């Protein structure tokens, strides 16, 4: 069974209902019914994008005036859906793994007495003020 074709526009997951083809030599874009199979150089569009798509300035748009309706599901679509559900239900669910807590303390570290945990302090130098004038 062929998968349901989606709209070619970015971030659109609606089903395709129309196909847009470009004629570069004639500077024409044609939107018609969904082609039976995907073709290279064509774009499958959902109903919203088929109505709202535009072409570059100077190009001509030929649009089939119709209500683009999605194709009804075929017997193959329903059979594939039933088989997918059956296959998913037959899978064995793995048992959950218990959570593991790993807590480390200074006493747990190797040779904790050898480690220096004191914070490192920056070296401070006091510079006397030699150029100050007293009034």
Q: Tens of pLDDT along 82-107?
A: 777 787 777 787 788 888 877 766 66
- Distance between CA atoms of residues 112 and 67, nearest Å: 77
Helix or strand or coil: residue 40? coil
Tens-digit pLDDT string for the chain (135 aa): 456 788 888 888 888 888 999 888 888 899 988 888 888 889 999 988 988 888 889 998 888 766 666 656 566 666 777 777 787 777 787 788 888 877 766 665 555 555 555 666 667 777 777 765 655
Cβ atoms of 44 and 38 within 8 Å: the answer is yes
pTM over 0.95: no
Phi, psi of 125 (to 5 degrees): -115, 130
Phi, psi of 62 (to 5 degrees): -110, 120
Q: Nearest Cα to 36, choosing from 73, 2, 68, 59?
A: 2
- CB-facing half-sphere around the CA of 103: CA atoms within 13 A: 3
pLDDT at 119: 62
pLDDT at 77: 65
Cβ atoms of 49 and 7 within 8 Å: the answer is yes
* Helix extents (H) in 39-132: 47-52, 75-90
Query: Among all chains, which residue has been given the structure tokens 């904790």?
Result: 112
pLDDT at 1: 43
- Distance between CA atoms of residues 95 and 5, nearest Å: 37
């Amino acid at each position: 069974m062929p998968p349901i074709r989606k709209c070619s526009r970015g971030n659109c997951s609606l089903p395709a209902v129309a196909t847009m083809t470009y004629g570069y030599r004639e500077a024409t874009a044609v939107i018609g019914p969904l082609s039976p199979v995907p073709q290279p150089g064509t774009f499958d569009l959902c109903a919203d994008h088929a109505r709202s798509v535009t072409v570059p300035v100077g190009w001509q748009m030929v649009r089939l005036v119709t209500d683009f309706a999605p194709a009804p599901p075929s017997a193959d679509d329903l059979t594939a859906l039933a088989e997918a559900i059956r296959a998913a239900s037959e899978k064995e669910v793995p048992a959950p793994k218990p959570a593991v807590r790993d807590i480390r303390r200074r006493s747990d570290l190797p040779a904790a007495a050898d480690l220096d945990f004191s914070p490192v302090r920056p070296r401070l130098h006091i510079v006397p003020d030699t150029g100050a004038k007293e009034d």
